[in-house]
Amino acid sequence: MKKEMSEIKRRALLAKQRMKMGYWQKLQAERDRMNAETEDRGKIEMASTLRRREFERTNKMALGDDFAEKDEKLYVKVKDILERDENTTNPIGQLVDRTVYDSLDEANKQRYILELSAKFRELRERYYKEKTKFV
């Protein structure tokens, strides 16, 4: 029960901080600006999806979600790889954690590579969406 209360308190604190900082007003102003600039619904939906994902990531990070922290660290690596060379021949090999990989048996090595590959595709998509957002 204590853990639930502390999580509720943390969520309330985050919501209060967002309100104090004018997060929702800024979000509404940005949405209005985007609607005025473009009539293309695809771009508006992509931007709102990007903002929602960003909000979910920051919320998970604030609540101490270990998976979110690992994803952010992996995203930094993916971003570095793509900024160095977008056509790199072995991005998965650059992301593999050798200590983890060497401790696995063959079946788990394959599972690890497949999961890492799926995560790379997801993070690469996020990188390109964020890159086009600021261009």
CA–CA separation, 18 and 20 (whole Å)? 6
Residue for token pair 């985050």: 14
CB–CB of 34/47 below 8 Å?
yes
In the DSSP assignment, the letter for residue 103 is T
The predicted-structure confidence for 45-60, as pLDDT tens digits, reads as follows 666 777 777 777 776 6
What is the reported pLDDT for 66? Answer: 63
Read off the tokens for 69. 């922290």
Amino acid at residue number 23? Y
What is the reported pLDDT for 39? Answer: 60
The domain spans of the chain are 65-134
Which stretches of the chain drop beneath a pLDDT of 70? 1-5, 38-47, 59-68, 133-135
What is the reported pLDDT for 48? Answer: 72
CA–CA separation, 35 and 57 (whole Å)? 25
C-alpha 123: how far from chain center: 7
Question: If DSSP codes are grouped into helix, strand and coil, which group holds residue 93?
Answer: helix
CA–CA separation, 99 and 115 (whole Å)? 16
